[in-house]
Amino acid sequence: MRMSTRLALTLLLAPAVLQAQAPAPTFSQRFKAGKPEVDRLMAAFEFREAFALAQTLLPETKPVYDKATVNGVHTSCWNFIEVGKAYLLAYQAAERAGQWEKGLVFLNKALETVKEGQAAGLPPLNEQVDYYTKKAKDAKALLAVNAEAVQALEAKAKVEDYEQGNLELVKSWEKDVADGEKWSKFFKYDVDMLARDVAFYGDSATALDNQIKEQQKSIDTYEPHPGDKNRWVEAIAASRTYLDSIPDKGDRIALICRLAVLDPDNKKVEHVMDIQMGRVAPDKKPAKKVKQ
């Protein structure tokens, strides 16, 4: 049987049409898929590559807070927290890659994002915490006031028909206690996580800002060439003793990345980087002269 030309074209085009209709991955999906590779590059001391990749995982738009439902409030809270974590990852890679100033921008973006999420989320989240806390408290009070009757009722091997309603009421109070305690903790956890991240990003931004200022101070007071950034970089790159005194390889490479950012044209810095990354053999120390 011959296939019509029109049908053949339809079949050939169908996969392309279906592919075009596939939804684009969400920010959360992209971030979760890309983060393991950033982590791998960081562990391999490929800080520059990790930094480049981490920047591609940042969101294009801000999250929107959905206050229409309780679940929407909770989900929105964690959307803001996750965006903060994306900026945190970019900061971590930037700091290791020597891009401290860009890292500070990312930390401040993380702080701004979570603060915005906190400002929008605290009123409805606290409302839920208060509601469920009160629910548990009120139910506990009813159980306490009726403690003797409740104990007697629950101790019975067989509950009379006319007591069945009271037993159901007691069970509803006990359920209110359990639900109230469970959900008040659930929403309080959201509140606490937002507060924790705000404090963490704020403290981290302050620490990195101080780190940048301290380094600049070292350059400004460098002898014998105060304020000469390139000579300061040259002196550190040339000091094998100083670099060898840094026990952690990641810290050594991160410092060399920073030197490269401060003085991008310094070939000695890149040579030292090649040595630390194992791409070339270490320079031989000059032989000591034998005294005649």
The confidence band for 20, taking pLDDT boundaries of 50, 70 and 90, is low
pLDDT, tens digit (0-9, with 9 covering 90-100), for 33-89: 999 999 999 999 999 999 999 999 999 999 999 989 999 999 999 999 999 999 999
Residue 69 DSSP class: S
Alpha-carbon span 81 to 184, nearest angstrom: 20
* Type and span of the H or E element at 87: helix 70-96
What average pLDDT does this structure show over 158-167?
Answer: 80
Q: Which residues contact 191 (CB under 8 A, 6 or more apart)?
A: 121, 122, 125, 126, 129
Q: What is the pTM of this model?
A: 0.85
pLDDT at 17 over 60: no
The confidence band for 4, taking pLDDT boundaries of 50, 70 and 90, is very low
List phi, psi (to 5°) of 62: -80, 155
pLDDT at 11 over 50: no
Q: Which residues of 126-151 are buried (b: 16+ CB within 10 A; e: fewer)?
A: eebbeebbebbeebbebbeebeeebe
The confidence band for 137, taking pLDDT boundaries of 50, 70 and 90, is very high
pLDDT at 9 over 80: no
pLDDT of residue 21: 63
